[in-house]
Amino acid sequence: MNISIVGTTPFVDQKPGTSGLRKKVTVFQTPHYLENFVQAIFDAIPQGEKTALVLGGDGRYYNRQAIQIIIRMAAANGFKRLLVGQHGYLSTPAASVVIRKQKLDGGIILSASHNPGGPDGDFGIKFNTRNGGPAPESVTDRIHDIASSLAEYRIMAADELDIDTCGCYQLGETTIEVIDPVSDYVELMEQLFDFTSIKALFNSGVFNMAFDAMHAITGPYASEILVRCLGAAEESLMNIQPKEDFGGGHPDPNLVYAHELVALFEQPITAPDFGAASDGDGDRNMILGRDVFVTPSDSLAIMAANAHLLPGYASGIKGVARSMPTSRAVDLVAECLGVECYETPTGWKFFGNLMDEGLITLCGEESFGSGSDHIREKDGLWAVLFWLNLIAIKKQSVHKIVLTHWQAFGRHYYSRHDYEGVDQGKASAMIEGLRDRLDGLNGRQFGNISITLADDFSYLDPVDGSRCDRQGIRLSFSDESRIVVRMSGTGTEGATVRVYYERYEPANGKLEEETQAYLASLFVIAEELMQLQSSTGRAKPDIIT
Ligand code: G16
């Protein structure tokens, strides 16, 4: 065996953010940069858990090269088994399925999620642990500490491995299994949903769907499940061929970046009945219907209210969780069902303990993520199947399902305003400035509403007792409105400031107003409190979702 021990200079910037380490491709191409971080991951895995891993990614530029390097490093680090997705493909939810089903010690997922790809785009590495979920902060902190002081890494000299053909290969003492990235995932979806009724929906001849894979990883999964298993028309899938640069697009399923899909819904006569899109690594989703965009927060609430209708959730849900900036629509459903609703910081990793402990069944985030305890990641296609199954059972349009929900629970009008690539110093000064003034804000009047709570969100994990502070500023008002502001942990250029707005309208009120107009009074308050325009240097947000 030809194992080299290569000297490296530590990289102090290898601190994982909201979801793994994300940097420009050019940064990952810096000599030893990728290797340094991968060795830190391997060193952070406890002895006795260094046996078997899965490896794959969203197919973005540098995926294939990184996979070859990591295969040779895994072999040099003594792993017994390394499962690699064919062509280097593995969606984030599918990686979680494989880890759990095959009882592996964890997995490495190569993705910068919804961030653009290509030689000038972004690349990323995430490490998932034995439960199939993103490594918790205690582990990512350990990886960062090791990466910041590492002196050398181990790598085996070997020819490039054929990752395009499924089969087993031996590299030293490591067995490399190139696996079908789709099959385990499909098998699990078949257990959770009623494929027969979804098939009947597609066969009815009166239901049209459009699914946009945005040239990212969901393409192969959508083809297999929606077309081959469920009988949807091939033409109903868009952009299903994964491309290294996502076809030059931004694989983020929202109203701005999924414009090709959104345009179909702007044609009154030919608009599909149901539309959906997924992101770079397949864990996000957006749901559309004729005349309606389902906010991710509403989607979670509607799923919670209706889960008992679907085979995988027929016995009801144990509890729910949402990230702090996500609207409180699901809180009302939980209250009605008599189950607990947990409020966590932004980041899927915070849901893992709650699911492992059996405290929650469903969870979601405003950032187009929803999922359940079937795995430990958010799951884009799972959400699409959930909605399809709901439509098939209820025999109602998306619009009708949403409206009926609001008529029962009231509506949380909701929008997120993003200011991207802002000067880091100015963004921090704005948020710090607000943080310093929080105590004095309680009770402050704005027109006919006043602030009832002004704080910086802290989370005490009810399972392991770990604590996270400074997770975003919350301003709650006397009419149940909220403004939340925090800095994104997933950007790679400057700072991205996110401001979240939420205003509640009761069930017997005005349920179908235009969202931005309905929230406008809150925009004025945010400007007054933070001077958003001068602090960000923007007259208006870059992205409104
Ligand atoms: C990641 C995390 C999510 C988070 C989102 C946005 O999603 O997994 O939990 O809500 O980023 O985070 P931020 O507001 O810090 O940018 P993904 O799909 O990018 O992995």
* CB of 369 closer than 6 angstroms to any ligand 1 atom: yes
**Tokens found for residue 282:** 């397949």
CA of 498 to the centre of ligand 1 (A): 12
Mean pLDDT within 158-180: 97
Mean pLDDT within 351-362: 97
**Ligand 1: which residue has its CA nearest to atom 19?**
113
CA of 347 to the centre of ligand 1 (A): 6
Mean pLDDT within 431-443: 94
DSSP state of 225: I
Instruction: Give the full edge-to-edge strand order of the sheet including 237-238.
Output: 237-238, 209-212, 274-278, 285-289, 292-294
Mean pLDDT within 295-300: 98
* CB of 489 closer than 6 angstroms to any ligand 1 atom: yes
- The yes-or-no verdict on residue 402 having pLDDT over 80 is yes
| Ligand 1 atom closest to the CA of 365, numbered from 1 | 10
| Ligand 1 atom closest to the CA of 378, numbered from 1 | 8
Of 294, 308, 289, the C-alpha closest to 393 is 308
Q: What is the DSSP string of 315-375?
A: T--SEEEEETTS-THHHHHHHHHT-EEEEE-SSGGGGHHHHHTT--SEEEETTTEEEETTS
* CB of 275 closer than 6 angstroms to any ligand 1 atom: no
pLDDT recorded at residue 50? 87
Of 91, 111, 113, 367, which is the active-site residue? 113
* CB of 346 closer than 6 angstroms to any ligand 1 atom: yes
* CB of 492 closer than 6 angstroms to any ligand 1 atom: no
| Ligand 1 atom closest to the CA of 489, numbered from 1 | 15
* CB of 365 closer than 6 angstroms to any ligand 1 atom: yes
CA distance 28 to 25: 5
CA distance 350 to 341: 14
Model pLDDT for residues 69-90, shown as the tens digit of each residue: 999 999 999 999 999 999 999 9
* CB of 376 closer than 6 angstroms to any ligand 1 atom: no
113 is catalytic: yes
**Ligand 1: which residue has its CA nearest to atom 7?**
19
Reading phi first (left if > 0) and then psi (alpha if -120 to 50, else beta), residue 336 is in: alpha
Q: What is the DSSP string of 210-224?
A: EEE-TTSTHHHHHII
Task: Work out the pLDDT band at 396, boundaries 50, 70, 90.
Answer: very high
pLDDT recorded at residue 374? 98
CA distance 382 to 402: 19
Q: Which domains does the chain have, with CATH numbers?
A: 3-180 (3.40.120.10), 185-409 (3.40.120.10), 411-544 (3.30.310.50)
Q: Work out the widest C-alpha separation in the chain, in whole angstroms.
A: 75
CA of 527 to the centre of ligand 1 (A): 25
* Residue burial 46-75, b: 16+ Cβ < 10 Å; e: rest: eeeebebbbbbbbbbbbbbbbbbebbbbbb
Using alpha carbons, list the distances in angstroms from residue 474 to 35, 434, 487, 491, 515: 39, 11, 13, 21, 20
**Ligand 1: which residue has its CA nearest to atom 3?**
347
| Ligand 1 atom closest to the CA of 111, numbered from 1 | 20
pLDDT recorded at residue 250? 93
Specify the range with the lowest mean pLDDT, choosing from 278-282, 486-490, 520-524: 486-490
Other beta carbons within 10 Å of 313:
21
* CB of 498 closer than 6 angstroms to any ligand 1 atom: yes
- The yes-or-no verdict on residue 1 having pLDDT over 70 is no
* CB of 345 closer than 6 angstroms to any ligand 1 atom: no
Q: How many Cα atoms occupy the beta-carbon half-sphere of 333 within 13 Å?
A: 31
396 burial via Cβ count (<10 Å: 0-12, 13-18, 19+): middle
Q: What are phi and psi of 328, to 5 degrees?
A: -90, 20
Task: Work out the pLDDT band at 332, boundaries 50, 70, 90.
Answer: very high
pLDDT recorded at residue 491? 76
Of 261, 253, 257, 322, the C-alpha closest to 285 is 253
Average of per-residue pLDDT values in the chain: 96
CA of 19 to the centre of ligand 1 (A): 6
Mean pLDDT within 184-200: 98
Mean pLDDT within 170-198: 97
